[in-house]
Amino acid sequence: MPFVRIDAYGGGTDDDRLDALGRAVHDALVETLGIPSDDRFQVLTAHDAARGTLRYDDYLGVRRDEGIVFVAITLRAGRTTGRKQALYHRIARLAEEYAGTDPRNVFVTLTENTSADWSLGNGLAQYVGSGSC
């Protein structure tokens, strides 16, 4: 049950681009981590590049530009480093394929937590005592 936030700006950030980025991240999660295809919870936010509401630099030699996309994924702990690396790679490739975003501009972070840290509605912690994904 990942929760995804995508923040993007630059030329061409519109509903279609945000939707394409959301699909790219979701498809990558399904393909690399085995997330159920109907398990999509995303917040997609467009930022006005003229006002500069996102900040970035060329850290670690990665040259970024106004096509930057920040992807923050919260999910339950337990994936191996290899699976996480496969996820990062697949998100970058699908963001390029679906939304025309250069892979160097795809910045991804994962935040892991436990089953007790989720309520999927009705004020319940549905994953407590459950072995589901």
Question: Mind telling me the catalytic residues?
Answer: 2
3-class secondary structure per residue, 110-132: EEEECHHHCCCCCCCCCCCCCCC
The HSE-up count of residue 113 (CA atoms within 13 Å, CB side) is 14
Calpha distance 21→12 (Å, rounded): 12
Helix, strand, coil share of the chain (percent; to 5):
40, 20, 40
